[in-house]
Structure 1
Amino acid sequence: MTAESPLPRRRRVGRRKAVAAVLAAVLVLATCAALIASGVLWPNRLFASGYSTRGVDVSSYQGTIDWPALASENIDFAIIKSTEGSSAVDSRFAENWSAAGDTDLLVGAYHFMSFDSEGATQAQNVIDTVPDAPGSLPVTVDVEFYGDYFELPPTQTRVRDILDPLLAELEDHYGSPPIIYATPEAYDRYIRDAYPDNPIWIRSVAVPPQMSDGRDWTFWQYSHRDRLRGYDGEETFIDMNVFTGSLDELTALAIG
């Protein structure tokens, strides 16, 4: 038998190394994907760590909240879902509002804006539900797509016909311009280059926010995959946010 040429052997070794490298890369990517999906790893946490004032937003999906336990989780503020549209009220709002108010957290409420009812009736739903409590954060109006509106977004004219009177009536009642929460898509379509007096709360859970009109954000929702102590609802994760300034500046915003 003749001796085997060394060149083919080197090629086979090279192929095995290449295959091993690809498999290792796939394993690393799969592991990272699993850690991100479970909330263990979240790249935005690194960027958000540069902001010292942190908080959560919650709704009935977090179930019963042990507010002293949650407040001890290195957070400074909590924004609680109150209402939706012209008639819906979060089933745990009153309980959450009262219990959160007994902690040292700065507390606010948010309203999920409907594209299907008028701004005046939505404002009345908020006013009937959210107390005008001294020292609470300005009311937030949440502007984002839902249901069929992901595929068929309403026109800017339609949304602003709802949003403008909603913001105006809430400001008139509570004495401060409401915060506007928006996803990047909703911001670009409906908020961009408008509402200069309203603090912006932007959702950007994959990367740090880049406002398309160069505006500065006031709040940034950087994660929807965190886990903290103090709640037991069907939603195991909790949304995490940072405020752009210091705790004293956030307190000043609450005082108005």
Structure 2
Amino acid sequence: MRITAIAVVLVLVIVLGAGAWWFRWVPEHRPPLDRATGEVHAIDVSNHQGTIDWGAVADDGIGAAMIKATEGNDYADPRFAENWEQSGGADIRRGAYHFFTLCSPGAEQAENFLRTAPPDPQALAPAVDLELIGSCEKRPSQSSVDGDLEDFRRIVEEAWQRPLLVYARGSFTSEYSIGALDDNPQWVTNFFVRPLDDGWTMWQVHYFAKVEGIDGDVDLDVLRTED
């Protein structure tokens, strides 16, 4: 009986400790910054975050934000213009990103992005999000994907005069090579632990951050602002 009681107590301690770590430490965790590379804590947001109080976000120590602008060749995030204007008004460094799909030509996707997020010399470099999630189930050949990615990259980079920041999830790279985009600045995911490879521009830390001014969870990132 005594051994059983001790085992129950140990299990409860482990469960409570894990719960405290997950619900208290994880949402509040922000990794230390390397000031030599101009690192700032950042977030990436879309319509899913609802209405954002960008002044409160800035007061909570967030220095930059990547804001979803478009997806595919015909979708514009309904909160992009609002988020873009208000984040800038709060003196948060802002960048626009496009969610790339395999269901429409890369050139058309670039045109959709540029209509919604025209070049802004004061903004961060534009980003492209490569993931195999969402409503598009098409799986074209590697050569077709190469052509569409190159068209998107070329058109957007010519307009913005900046190299694309590339976010490529494992769901995408497990099926496709990203080709020449490997040489672009990279937005990497490495949960909680600073990436060993030092060649990144933006690091997504986790998806569960609590930030003042945002209801619910938001992605936490670290951005290097020194080029």
Per the alignment, residue 113 of structure 2 pairs with 126
Gaps of 5+ in 2: none
List gaps (5 residues or longer) in structure 1. Answer: 1-11
Bigger mean CA deviation after superposition, 223-232 or 24-33: 24-33
Question: 1:49 pairs with 13, 22, 32, which one?
Answer: 32
1:205 pairs with 2:191: yes
Match of 2:213 among 230, 235, 239: 230
Q: What is the correspondence of 1:95-244 to structure 2 with a 5 Å cutoff? A: 95-147=82-134, 155-187=141-173, 189-191=175-177, 194-205=180-191, 207-209=193-195, 216-232=199-215, 236-243=216-223
Normalising by structure 1, what TM-score? 0.76
1:42 alignment partner, SS class:
helix
Residue 35 to residue 125, structure 1, CA distance change in 2 (3 Å) = farther
Quick check: 1:83–1:90 contact (8 Å CA) kept in 2?
yes
Identity of aligned residues (%): 35
- The change in CA–CA distance for 1:186 and 1:55 in structure 2 (over 3 A counts) is same
Deviation at 1:153, TM superposition (A): 6.1
**Counterpart contact for 2:166–2:187, Cα < 8 Å:** yes
Q: State the distance in 2 between where 1:72 and 1:65 align.
A: 13
- Indicate the residue corresponding to 2:49 in structure 1: 62
Larger radius of gyration: 1
Asked if the contact 2:27–2:208 (Cα under 8 Å) also holds between the matched residues in 1, the reply is no
Paired residue secondary structure (2:104): coil
Q: Deviations over 1:68-101 (max 9, x none)?
A: 1111111211110100000100010011111111
Report SS of the residue matched to 1:230: coil
- The count of residues paired between Structure 1 and Structure 2 equals 223
Residue aligning to 1:8: none
RMSD after superposition: 2.8
What corresponds to 1:6 in structure 2? none
Q: Is this contact kept in 2: 1:44–1:223, CA < 8 A?
A: no
Q: Is 2:6 the counterpart of 1:26?
A: no
